[in-house]
Amino acid sequence: MSDPFAFDAPPDRYIVVGNPIRHSQSPFIHRCFAEQTGQRLCYEAMAVDEGGFAQAMGNFQASGGKGMNVTVPFKRDAWQSVDQRSPRAEKAGAVNTITFANNGDSFGDNTDGVGLVRDLEKNRKLSLCGSRLLLLGAGGAARGVIEPLLACAPAGLVVANRTAERAMALASEFTTEGNIEGCGFQALTGRRFDIIINATSASLAGATLPLPEGLLTGSDTAFCYDMMYAAEATPFQRWARQQGARHTADGLGMLVEQAAEAFYIWRDVYPETAPVITALRQRLQAR
């Protein structure tokens, strides 16, 4: 963190890198956090060409940058490029938050999982402990949230994916962490879940997942969550409502919560997320 009494010092610099990056909401979110907490910093978005991550990271660090957020498709590259990784980044196999230390070391963390769990438990008031969870998808986003979800002690976690083998292979990596299994979509027939989380990118393409009917318990608390976010309900949220889910949410809260954790790592102060979630929702809807 910069010296608060060094009035003439330039603000600490942070960036988010990805491709595409034009629509990233991270600069807006971090500027809101900085204003709210009185932190002097500058946060920009930067597009990086495929294959160019390590070079971009080195250049930014050499120019005095203090930290980086990393989004699609570079989270794995970031994992490989940093000098040290947190235990949760190690497990996730992906890094979304990098801190550059004064001694030249780079430290990689992953805040996606904690962001999802905080959005579900703190903002949505859901209890994951003892719940039957279904996680759809077996890509980077799914991998990053499995360990934090299992740490909440659900009754069970089923990972289901279009390519069943990927779900089975992913689940098998986490069997020591809790009750987890992997399968394809059709193998879900006849099963019931309290909470279904969509970590596929199907909603991005406007596609509906070929899921069997009746996956949700009939209870009032059955809940469906799409990690993708949009101004309107996503295709997955619409599917969930047709299936009788009373409550659904998109991933906007997760986005803000993972950013808050990154902000805390960098600035040692935890911002309030609720007003930023509201402001971001209004911004999306005003477009």
| Interface ranges with ligand NDP (CB under 6 A) | 72, 112, 115, 137-142, 161-163, 166, 199-202, 204-205, 207, 209, 227-229, 251, 254-255, 258
Q: How far apart are CA 86 and CA 201, in angstroms?
A: 26
Q: How far apart are CA 95 and CA 85, in angstroms?
A: 8
Residue (of 26, 4, 8) closest to 17 by Cα position? 26
Residues near 91 by beta carbon (within 8 Å), at least 6 away in sequence:
147
Least distance to ligand NDP, CB of residue 284, Å? 13
Contact 259, 30 (CB under 8 A): yes
Residue (of 212, 209, 191, 187) closest to 200 by Cα position? 209
Least distance to ligand NDP, CB of residue 146, Å? 12
Name the one residue in this structure whose structure tokens are 């879940």. 193
Least distance to ligand NDP, CB of residue 64, Å? 28
Contact 94, 75 (CB under 8 A): yes
| DSSP state, residue 118 | H
Least distance to ligand NDP, CB of residue 40, Å? 26
Helices (H), the chain: 26-37, 53-62, 75-81, 87-92, 112-118, 140-150, 164-172, 235-242, 252-267, 274-285
Give catalytic residue positions.
75
Q: How far apart are CA 137 and CA 142, in angstroms?
A: 6
- Interhelix angle for 140-150 vs 164-172, to 10°? 40
Least distance to ligand NDP, CB of residue 20, Å? 11
